[in-house]
Amino acid sequence: MLRIFALCLLAFASETGAQNGVAPAAGPSAGSPEPLFAFHELDYHLHAGLERPVSMQEWLDLCVSDGRKAVVMLDHLELYRKLPEEYLRWKPHGQPPYKMGRAGHHEFFRQVDALASQRKDLLIFKGWEISETELDTGLDLEAMRLVDVIGWHISPANGRKAPDGEHLVKRARQVLQAQKRVPVPMILFHPFTMRVENLQRSAVAQGRDPKDITAEEYRFFHGDEQRQLAELLRGSSVYLEISRETEDCFFEDACRTAMLEDIRPLAEMGVQFTVSTDAHGVSDLTKTFRPAAYSQALGCTPANTNSLLRELLKIRTTKPTSVGQ
């Protein structure tokens, strides 16, 4: 408890002046604040709503037992658009823990707010995971304004063209525009591992061994797409996620090589990253989270991955969370 409070005070002291709206991320430099937490102590993508398999208290206990100190508790926004009978077909065992629709949004976040005020072993923030398609079809601004963080689900687009650098540059531009309407920190969720998933599934469908996929095929960026993306994101409050599935990618030489060539230059150009478990089930939280095993090789530092936490803590000093929002 005392450590959490002391670290909060450190974060507040490391920033000067209050800021309205979104605080720009502080890039890693000689003058950057000291990191607050180690890689594995952060989880910016923790599913905790309609998909949660146990009580929220048990869910957080599992996080703490594996070392987590700060989490973003979120849910898929589109799940709340299901009719009750659709939910039961999707998850047939038991009733949904929250109502569908906007009433469910408020029920979920009231519970998150209550736990955030009760738990002294965790820093807790609220979030949505939203399909990237809503950047094209229209934004649910009312729902988006309920949360501290918004993560945009970059899809693997299985059966179609895999996400790539051109696609991510487009989404980054759209997210920056969306952020002008809802000024909260935003994350582009798991773009790199979604490309890997698409390519590997496509290979299996074609009767090809995924181990035959080359590093060049895995490469996400081509031409000057890395530079374009870095120019858009550097100094902004939009982050890229390095998801837990990255660890699996490191077991394949070609995939690891592509990841290093795609991500490390972005870190060197000042792009800010987040790490996460993207946990949906108990097995996701009982398996040891080891983001340092791949994040450091990709050029990410604890100072970099703590940038979002520092920003959220700063925002909280001027815009405190109220239970029952």
β-strand pairing of 238-243 with 186-189? parallel
- Calculate mean pLDDT across residues 197-225: 97
pLDDT at position 32: 54
Q: In the structure, what pLDDT confidence band is assigned to residue 95 with cuts at 50, 70 and 90?
A: confident
Would you state the pLDDT for residue 34?
Answer: 66
Give the range among 95-109, 223-237, 268-282, 288-302 with minimum mean pLDDT. 95-109
Q: What is the pLDDT of residue 147?
A: 98
Alpha-carbon 238 to chain mean position: 11
In whole angstroms, how large is the CA radius of gyration of the chain? 19
**Residues near 166 by beta carbon (within 8 Å), at least 6 away in sequence:** 225
**Using one digit for the tens of pLDDT, what is the confidence trace for 26-81?**
333 334 556 689 999 999 999 999 988 899 999 999 999 999 999 999 999 999 99
Cβ neighbour number for residue 105 with a 10 Å cutoff: 23
Give the residue among 308, 311, 244 at the shortest CA–CA distance from 276.
244
Mean confidence (pLDDT) of the chain: 89
Calpha distance 235→208 (Å, rounded): 42
Q: Is the four-CA dihedral 43, 61, 48, 178 of positive or negative sign?
A: negative
HEC per residue, 45-83: EEECCCCCCCCHHHHHHHHHHCCCCEEEEEEEHHHHHCC
Mean pLDDT for 114-124 is: 96
Level-2 CATH architecture, domain 2-318? Alpha-Beta Barrel (3.20)
| Measured distance CA(158)–CA(174) in Å, rounded | 22
Q: Side by side, which strands form the sheet with 149-153? A: 42-47, 70-76, 123-131, 149-153, 186-189, 238-243, 273-276
Q: Is 90 exceeded by the pLDDT of residue 96?
A: no
Phi, psi of 40 (to 5 degrees): -70, -10
Task: Specify the residue for token string 């910016």.
Answer: 44
User: What pLDDT does residue 22 have?
Assistant: 43
**Domain layout of the chain by residue ranges:** 2-318
Question: Residues 146, 107: contact at Cβ < 8 Å?
Answer: no
Confidence of residue 120 (pLDDT cuts 50, 70, 90): very high
CB atoms within 10 A of CB 282: 14
